[in-house]
Amino acid sequence: MKGNKYIEREGKAATKIYDNRSLEKDFRTLKSVLKEGMIVLDVGCGTGAISKDVAKIVGDNGKVIGIDNTKKFIESGKESYKKINNLKLIHSDLFSFESEEKFDLIIAARVLQWLTHPKEALIKLKGLLKPNGQISILDYNHEKLEWHPSPPKSMKTFYDIFLKWRKDAGMNNKIAEDLSALMTEVGFHSVEVFNSNEYYERGDENFQSKVGIWSKVAGLNQIVEEGYIENEYRLQVIKEYDEWVKKEAISMTMKLNEVRGKKLKK
């Protein structure tokens, strides 16, 4: 899976990004679903930063299992959250994960965007749920990213290339829009969509690093190695964008939806 190749390479930086995530900031709409005593699976949990917040809410009568197929994220999370007794982190790919215990709730934040077979992932998740169980998927519509004011032309060109690279690799750039239809297709009911956009404005804490994410993406060697962009142009993209973030950027909105669905009683 392409997404993972890049994450592996960007190991340390990505570990830090995922460690800084929280339920409150990065999966805020999920809170209304969480109940004490729930058994929860967090698929593609990264380092488990969001999983550990979920574990606090479900309490000692409940538990959270987080799985991720990037070993270093799981190793880092096991160390950071070793004192949280009702959280278990496992290095596993979703498609090979088996569990005798079924789940009340399965969550997957920012994961299906990387999969070439998101429908098969939903079928797999359905099999891991208890009857009446619920899934909650948080994901992006990369086609609707908004910058204000417009960033340098070089970044806009790069962003189009990035979306093409993803599309060519079989990833869905607007998975957030397509999730509700996919869930219905595989047999979930009571499918609901919640707007979970992320809005960053100058003056916000972490504004530069949040908006600066696109120079990190432009820094990925893979897009150059696969012949999508010349290295020299990529360096220009990064330089001009960093300058824009420092001096001109006012806001950026990443478009996300949380999409929930329920499994039938039997």
154/171 with CB nearer ligand SAM: 171
* Helix (H) or strand (E) segment spanning residue 165: helix 153-168
DSSP string, 123-160: HHHHHHEEEEEEEEEEEE-GGG-EEES---HHHHHHHH
Please choose, out of 44-52, 150-158, 172-180, 258-266, the segment that lies near ligand SAM by the rule CB under 6 A.
44-52
Alpha carbon 222 to its chain's center: 20
Give the span between the Cα atoms of 178 and 239, in whole angstroms: 35
Q: Which of 34, 46, 89, 255 binds ligand SAM (CB under 6 A)?
A: 46
| Residue 21 sits in the site that holds ligand SAM (CB under 6 A) | yes
Q: Which of 23, 41, 45, 171 binds ligand SAM (CB under 6 A)?
A: 45
Q: Which of 53, 68, 104, 177 binds ligand SAM (CB under 6 A)?
A: 68
Structure tokens belonging to residue 173:
């750039």
Please choose, out of 32-40, 41-49, 195-203, 232-240, the segment that lies near ligand SAM by the rule CB under 6 A.
41-49
Closest approach of Cβ 15 to ligand SAM, in Å? 9
For ligand SAM, how many residues bind (rule: CB under 6 A)?
Answer: 23
| Residue 128 sits in the site that holds ligand SAM (CB under 6 A) | no
244/255 with CB nearer ligand SAM: 255
Q: Rounded to 5 degrees, what are φ and ψ at 219?
A: -80, -5
Give the span between the Cα atoms of 238 and 219, in whole angstroms: 7
Q: Rounded to 5 degrees, what are φ and ψ at 25?
A: -90, -35
User: In 3-state terms, the chain is what percent helix, strand and coil (to 5)?
Assistant: 50, 25, 30
Q: Which of 93, 198, 201, 248 binds ligand SAM (CB under 6 A)?
A: 93
| Helix, strand, or coil (residue 233) | helix
109/176 with CB nearer ligand SAM: 109
Q: Which of 52, 55, 69, 175 binds ligand SAM (CB under 6 A)?
A: 69
Binding residues for ligand SAM, rule: CB under 6 A, are 1, 3-4, 7, 18, 21, 26, 44-46, 50, 67-70, 73, 93-95, 109-111, 114
